[in-house]
Amino acid sequence: AQKITQTQPGMFVQEKEAVTLDCTYDTSDPSYGLFWYKQPSSGEMIFLIYQGSYDQQNATEGRYSLNFQKARKSANLVISASQLGDSAMYFCAMREGSDYKLSFGAGTTVTVRA
């Protein structure tokens, strides 16, 4: 079974608007961590934000925020005030327990329009 599901292959967003990228996960481990990465066309993986399963508050990092709904097993990424440089592939990933290896979703391509 897929551990991480990203159902949006691609999204378009107008510059300066907000965009929400969906991510659902599946795990039976009560301790886990959720990550979001940005991958521009250059191929590097840029860490954006992290949410731990025991964190009480939703994570935020600048224009990035994570809408964590534990009961629904979702960890959606919200990018506010989109910029042209936000155009990239975005991956949701999860680690489980004390294991540091990551399972990745299929990714969502975001294209920001001027």
Partner 1 sequence: SAVISQKPSRDICQRGTSLTIQCQVDSQVTMMFWYRQQPGQSLTLIATANQGSEATYESGFVIDKFPISRPNLTFSTLTVSNMSPEDSSIYLCSVEGGTTPGTEAFFGQGTRLTVV
By the criterion CB under 8 A, which residues form the site for partner 1? 33, 35, 37, 43-45, 47, 50, 52, 91, 93, 95, 98, 100-107
Question: Least Å distance between CB 58 and partner 1?
Answer: 15
Report which residue type is found at 47: F
Q: Which is nearer to partner 1, 80 or 109 (CB)?
A: 109
- Token duo for residue 87: 């155009």
60-61 vs 46-52, strand pairing mode: unpaired
Question: Least Å distance between CB 4 and partner 1?
Answer: 9
Q: Which residues contact 44 (CB under 8 A, 6 or more apart)?
A: none
Q: Which is nearer to partner 1, 78 or 89 (CB)?
A: 89
What is the rounded distance in angstroms from the CA atom of residue 46 to the CA atom of residue 48?
Answer: 6
Q: Which is nearer to partner 1, 15 or 54 (CB)?
A: 54
